[in-house]
């Protein structure tokens, strides 16, 4: 049984190591299926199940010839300034144990050696500088002279007006330098900032004051513009706005305008300068679309979010939500553009490409599938969630869904311990059931593993070609 588990785990891990199938130089779609426990081996087949030897199709062979070479970009110009190469050698430590010794060398763009092999790492900086570091020490390194400065520097981030922020080994804010490596601000900073990162032209840094965590918004001169319990840039807070929390107050601020929108005892889920989505309550949650002046446009939702699928700018053109157990889509004025039938236990609505899925709050209920017009395709009850994979062709009808479902006994928390996929078409028809892993989808074909077999199926669930997962064990 342990051998089986290893094979299953390896197959899942290999999904991350290999790219999916694609068109070869001849234009024919090819499929790659990983083999065995360890990296490298792939089964390459065409749509008819004919095996393609790797040497006959170089486009399908992973290019590892320069996997150890990486670029160092000049942050001032965004152009490659240096190149570094990694070398790993098997050796023995002082105790006689076999270890891998990792060393790095630095080159200019012409291939001339600037720093010969050493057991260090290099990071990008600006001009003739790089970051040179090991696990517990870093510094700004001047390549032509070998001079090092700003001990403890690990990262460099570009600010505006030719200034650069130096971040320390543990993420602390060290200070600001110019393009010549001269200190402008900090070293040390007026206040100890334990972590920092650049947001647009500003810096978001954190400190501990009287045993309380505080987050600060700083400008490029390290002047404090705002402080709160937390500050962050969220995808749903648009343009140059930031979310913040300060005790019972949550809201949105602008670095130049200050606080532009705030609520007490609620959270701001979306803001674009004109409209906001406010969430109130705990178990009895209440979402509302409101104006910047906090006038309610439409409320009473158990879920409301921007529908970015149909928005081509930084303001959402429409919003999707659940109102009285019905999935709805509304415009910026609160007018209903589409509405579903009543969906028992529906609390949350999510995007699945141009389709939607609905489920209970916090994804705790099984999911159902809805068409783009919110017509019910698959009612909730059988599947935990859906993913959509479209055929690489242009025909929108060629869409398959991978529906995740629990099988077998439940654990002490009432959850399934084993999961499988059903593959559905856009009408909700099961094409293939109980799929263990899927690797690629092409025109009329699905590369997958089902039980102890791997291979290629057509879109009617028939094997085109298959082989046992055990067939490569001796080779591997």
Condensed to tens digits (0 to 9), the pLDDT of residues 372-412 reads 999 999 999 889 889 887 654 445 456 889 998 888 777 77
Residues 6+ apart with CB under 8 A from 7: 37, 469, 470, 473
310 — pLDDT class (breaks 50, 70, 90): confident
If one counts every other C-beta atom within 10 angstroms of the C-beta of residue 210, the result is: 5
Taking residues 24-36, report their average pLDDT: 72
CA distance 394 to 245: 45
* SS3 state at 378: strand
The alpha carbon of residue 302 and the mean position of all alpha carbons in its chain are separated, in whole angstroms, by 26
Please state which of the ranges 223-227, 243-247, 312-316, 368-372 shows the lowest mean pLDDT: 312-316
pLDDT recorded at residue 371: 95
In this prediction, what percent of the chain has a pLDDT beyond 90?
62
CA distance 424 to 461: 10
pLDDT > 90? residue 259: yes
Looking at per-residue pLDDT, the higher value among 57 and 204 belongs to: 204
Could you tell me the end-to-end alpha-carbon distance of the chain, in angstroms, rounded to an integer? Answer: 18
DSSP string, 207-229: EEETTEEEEEEE-TT--EEEEES
Looking at per-residue pLDDT, the higher value among 470 and 386 belongs to: 386
Sign of the four-CA dihedral 53, 55, 57, 58: positive
| pTM greater than the 0.85 cutoff | no
pLDDT recorded at residue 75: 97
CA distance 239 to 254: 9
If one counts every other C-beta atom within 10 angstroms of the C-beta of residue 441, the result is: 24
pLDDT > 90? residue 238: no
Residue 435 exposure: Cα atoms within 13 Å on the Cβ side: 28
Sign of the four-CA dihedral 426, 427, 432, 435: positive
DSSP 8-state secondary structure symbol assigned to residue 433? E
Taking residues 121-148, report their average pLDDT: 95
pLDDT > 80? residue 294: yes
Encode 350-371: b = buried (16+ Cβ within 10 Å), e = exposed: bebbebbbbbeeeeebbbbbbb
312-316 — which CB contacts under 8 Å span 24+ positions?
A: 314/238, 314/239, 314/272, 315/238, 315/272, 315/273, 315/274, 315/275, 316/270, 316/272, 316/275
Looking at per-residue pLDDT, the higher value among 238 and 125 belongs to: 125
In this prediction, what percent of the chain has a pLDDT beyond 70?
86
CA distance 325 to 71: 53
pLDDT recorded at residue 15: 35
313 — pLDDT class (breaks 50, 70, 90): confident
Per-residue pLDDT reduced to its tens digit, 193-205: 999 999 988 999 9
CA distance 208 to 224: 15
- Pairing relation of β-strands 195-199 and 183-186? unpaired
Q: Across all residues in the chain, what is the average pLDDT?
A: 85
The sheet with strand 430-435 has its strands ordered as 385-390, 399-410, 416-425, 430-435
Residue 412, phi then psi, degrees to nearest 5? -65, -20
DSSP string, 74-85: ETTTTEEEEEEE
pLDDT recorded at residue 38: 44
* SS3 state at 413: coil
pLDDT recorded at residue 112: 96
pLDDT > 90? residue 469: no
């Amino acid at each position: 049984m342990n051998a089986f588990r290893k094979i299953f785990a390896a197959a899942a891990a290999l999904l991350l190591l290999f790219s999916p199938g694609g068109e070869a130089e001849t234009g024919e779609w090819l499929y790659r299926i990983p083999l065995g426990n360890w990296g490298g081996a792939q089964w390459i087949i065409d749509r008819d199940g004919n095996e393609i030897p790797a040497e006959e199709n170089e486009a399908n062979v992973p290019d590892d010839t320069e996997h150890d070479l990486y670029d160092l970009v000049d942050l001032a110009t965004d152009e490659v300034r240096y190149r570094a190469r990694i070398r790993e050698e098997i050796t023995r430590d002082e105790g006689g144990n076999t270890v891998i010794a990792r060393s790095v060398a630095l080159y200019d763009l012409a291939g001339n050696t600037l720093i010969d092999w050493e057991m260090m790492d290099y990071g990008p900086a600006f001009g003739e500088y790089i970051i040179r570091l090991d696990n517990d020490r870093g510094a700004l390194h001047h390549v032509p002279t070998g001079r090092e400065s700003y001990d403890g520097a690990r990262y460099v981030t570009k600010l505006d007006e030719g200034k650069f922020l130096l971040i320390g080994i543990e993420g602390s804010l060290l200070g600001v330098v110019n393009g010549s490596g001269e200190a402008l601000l900090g070293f040390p900073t007026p206040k100890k900032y334990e972590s920092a990162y650049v947001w647009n032209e500003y810096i978001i840094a954190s400190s501990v004051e009287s045993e309380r965590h505080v987050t600060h918004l700083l400008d490029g001169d390290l002047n404090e513009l705002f402080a709160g319990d937390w500050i962050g840039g969220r995808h749903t807070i648009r343009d140059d706005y930031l979310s913040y929390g300060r005790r019972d107050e949550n809201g949105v601020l602008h670095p130049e305008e200050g606080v532009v929108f705030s609520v007490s005892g609620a959270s701001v889920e979306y803001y674009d300068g004109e409209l906001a989505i406010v969430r109130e309550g705990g178990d009895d949650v209440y979402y509302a679309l409101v104006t910047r002046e906090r006038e309610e446009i439409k409320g009473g939702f158990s879920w409301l979010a921007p529908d970015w699928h149909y928005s081509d700018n930084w303001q959402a053109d429409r919003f999707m939500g659940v109102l009285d157990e019905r999935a709805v889509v509304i415009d910026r004025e609160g007018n209903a553009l589409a509405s579903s039938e009543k969906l028992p236990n529906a609390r949350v609505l999510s995007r699945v490409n141009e389709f939607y899925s609905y489920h209970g709050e916090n994804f705790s209920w099984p999911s159902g599938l809805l068409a783009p017009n919110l017509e019910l395709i698959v009612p909730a009850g059988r599947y935990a969630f859906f993913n959509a994979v479209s055929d690489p062709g242009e025909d929108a009808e060629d869409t398959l869904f991978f529906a995740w479902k629990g099988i077998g006994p439940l654990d002490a928390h009432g959850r399934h311990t084993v999961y499988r996929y059903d593959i559905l078409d856009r009408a909700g028809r099961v094409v293939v059931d109980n799929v263990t892993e899927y690797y690629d989808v092409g025109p009329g074909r699905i590369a997958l593993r089902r039980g102890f077999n791997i291979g290629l199926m057509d879109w009617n669930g028939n094997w085109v070609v298959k082989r046992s997962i055990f067939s490569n064990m001796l080779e591997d």
